[in-house]
Structure 1
Amino acid sequence: MHGDTILLMTFVFALVAAFAGGLVARALRLPPIVGYLVGGLVVSPFTPGFIGDSHAMNQLAEVGVMFMMFSTGLHFSLKDLFEVKGIAVPGAILQIAVGTAAGYALALAFGWTPQAGIMLGLSVSIASTVVLIKNLTDAGLYQTHGGRVATGWLIVEDLATVVILVVLPVVFGPGETSGAELASGLAWALAKTVAFVLLMLVVGSRLLPWVLGRIARFCPAELFQLAVVVIALGTAMAAALVFDLSVALGAFLAGVVVSGSKLSHRIAAEAIPFKDLFSIIFFASVGMMVNPVTLAAHVGELIALVALIMVGKWLINMVLGVVLSAGLRGTLTVAAGLAQIGEFSFIIGQTGMALGVLSSEQYTLILGGAVVSIALNSFAFKLIDPLERWIRAHGRLAALYERHAHHFEEPASDLHGHVVVVGYGNAGRCVTEVLNNLGIPCLVVERELEVAEEAEADGLCALVGDAANSEILAHAHLDGARVLVIAGGGDAAAEVIAHEARSLAPGLHIVTRAADADGLAALVAAGANEVVRPELEGGIELMRHTMIDLGYTPRQIEGYANELRASGYEALGDGAQAARRRAFARLAASLSEVELEWVPVDAGSIAAGRTLGELDLRAQTGANAVALRRDGEVALFIDAKTRLCAGDAVGLVGTAEQVEAASRLFA
């Protein structure tokens, strides 16, 4: 039975081990990826206990690659790709060339053959797209300019890998290969790549959204979910089987072409559970492939290889950032994101073994370098902010990266009476638009260069920098500002900004927002004067619209909302039912005001003994029944099922004519 269920057991035990490893990593404040990798090592053939089927896990891991790249395509438009092509295309090509040369030199220092050195160099030069997307997302950098450049950079590397995998068997295979055969093989691979891309962009961009739209309209929800899975995996497999491309590229293009659909947000939501589950399987499968005994025997070589992957590639990309004018923060993001290797390095290494160029020990060393670099890559992202501050403190060094960047006009030295808005997203734009119309000067602080340029194009004064991790607030003239509005970033960033602003300008009025009650308390402690909770304000608006539909007057509704706000946001949080009851009682008391007309239900009327639904009061008279008084008690929010009895009094809202018509039904 063990042999019959080895795939199921490997899948389950790997998930259990990854879950336990993730919890331990979380407790030790390490990235969860480290726990997933260790979990895979626990169930690998190279450790005591259960021996998992690493080959089967590798196949499941490919599903994780497909879903991760499909989700990436959903959020990465062709416009984004074209915008960064000037940096991503030459950057990827140069980095592959320089990285391969560095890996080749290291292999010769290890005593490897020149052929094995080329394999190591190619393996080192190609980073993992899955790891990049995961760490960009965790660091909140995926939608930034640097995140888009890094993603485009890796897409180019994926395309380059297709060419590399075509060339390797021709160059290192048995027998001699002529230049004509090599050129023919490359031309054929390029033709298939172009054909697939055109097929997806011309046909797929029209067909796939149309199919998903029809399924969403006429089929059950589970069929729509299944359609998303089929499109993601089916397109990836078609790219591999028909066009000899990577499944990652196929899945990415599938995501790109359906991202233009009106259902793109629903598609992304359906794909998230599969992406998260199988991405964990991917990292666990990587851990299963590592033989710790072999790595222990070559620990010196492993350290040198990891240093090349993480430090060497980082330095290479930092230099390329200067050459390509990628901007300081964008360069730091790319350098951190590409300081690792992953799935394509495994494929190149496996190809080297199949061609007899690499030995099993050499391949294991490449795997070990990949595992260590994946485990440590998230720490490279934590260095972005302190490194940015250090480089900007050295003006000449920072100028190398920013020499072609757009330079914003510094705020006037005598600027005062202005409002500083941190973040030019949807919320920040709403604030600045109103203030502009009122003639109140605004100063926008935005971390993303492109967004800051939009603010300047809208006629606003803008500063570029991360207000939570730089000295940018010192240039915002907070001592002369009337209000600071923190409209971007999460609660943690807003807390840092509020604390720094309060130290620079003790009398400044600070307005911000919080996701929950804990964030609200932390922001108040940091110095914020006004904290808005968008979710709770949305709840008040939902309540207001509902009560309007039920026929309550604006004065009554506003009174209820004001009572809740007057009690503080605590009255809207958990465990505050008593505060809500007090506000509700005041609402009930307001029903005696003139806006509400109480009409008695006579014993002989057609209304006595019937429900409001049976009377169809609103359709017949236009009046709304919003309350019922029975035996001295007032009931609110009555509905169509409420049955009227003789002696009741019904609270009606409407015009005098509508109330008069309803009164005749109760008489």
Structure 2
Amino acid sequence: MFFGGVRVIPWLLERVAHMHSRELFILVVLVITLGTALGAAELFGVSLALGAFLAGAIISQSHLSHQVGADVFSFREAFSVLFFVSVGMLVNPVFLWQNLGQVLGLTALVVFGKLLIVIVMAMFFPQPLRTFLVIAIGLSQVGEFSFILGQGGLSLGLLSVEQYSLILAASLFSITINPFMYRLVDPLERLLSKVPVFSKRAQKRLPTPLPAEEKIKDHVVVVGYDRIGKHLVDVLTSLKIPMIVIEEDIDRIVELQEQAIPALYGDASNSEVLDQTHLEKAKLLVSTVPDETATAMIVSKARTLSPTLSIMARSSSQEGVIELEKMGANYVVLPELEGGLELIHNALLELKFPLQEVHAYTQAVRRDHYNLENISNEEHRSLDDLLAAFKGIEISWMNLEADSPLIGQTLAEAGIRSKTGASLVALIREGQLLANPKSQTIFLAGDRLGFIGESPQIESVRKLILAEIQAETQA
């Protein structure tokens, strides 16, 4: 049943996911789990609990298992509570007190017996002794699954009520003391290393492969692979920046997998899915999801999981921008108004406003959540002053050719300002920018010169560079 299921059920889940129906996907998951549990019980005579366990093992083989876990999370929590409540109701404190010696004896037998069995197994495997000690202590308890087996024995008449109560009490004791037993790892390793059969294994230190989650760090989490998300992923890929993409559309997941880009199928507004992206090790989370409610849940849960994470989000309204920032987003973009702001930015640059001042103005608009009415009179006045100051002034770049008379001269010797009235404000040489060149700067062929001045002054500089002024003077 398992070998057949791992081939059929993951295929079925993927086909259902391609139908883009969240409700149908959840319904199919429930039908698969309950159907597998009932089928295993009827066909093989096992308990429903063991059948459900088999269904979970089969579904875990699908790459959609993260979303399955997120969708059944509420069911899992509810059934877990009911399970332990029902087990707790079976524990009889009076029986526990009256049979305390037997309970402690059975607990010791379980804890130390399982510990001894695993340590003996270490004699037949090449792994280091410490590895088996950690495994032995981890297994030295009565697991929750034993409750199910015990109930099966009780229903079949193989166990009496007193015996089952004894098992429950021993389980409670062993689970309670198990965390404290990890302190015995070092003492046990030192003790067993003196035994000849374990001495070589105690010295052995096999390289431990790094868990997959520890390899993921300094990455970007991209939520949504729509047009905006695709462009972002393309840029991150070209820059070789590690990333994880979360997407609800299974077709896009397939596309990402074909490009060997790590991707998770699921709803990012569910913390179960976000947990898989290791936000505590990420550098940035970018949400391109257009739905404002889903984005709010993503930002809130991401901020809870990683208080220091940088979060960028997309909003669909000015009110949403304010709310997302309150929830912890560091930067919120409103695409519709961002387009208008970009038009303002380019228009101001065309009007020859300084780039730094234009950038400061657009950033002020963003800080005020794209509300132009909130821009202060001082900021508007600053733009007006800039327009008046730079009206008729141009900033022009010119290349210095090898036949220019300026080659080999210093800025002072060239006397550009005295001859033309324009000022040299920048020089680019071999890709390096030199702002406000000194008077001792020597001009070289290939230099790119930046001048500021009015139109006639810029024209005079161009003639000077081309030696037209000298020709006119000689004439």
TM-score, with length taken from structure 2: 0.45
Higher helix share: 1
Q: Give the structure with higher Rg (CA).
A: 2
TM-score, with length taken from structure 1: 0.33
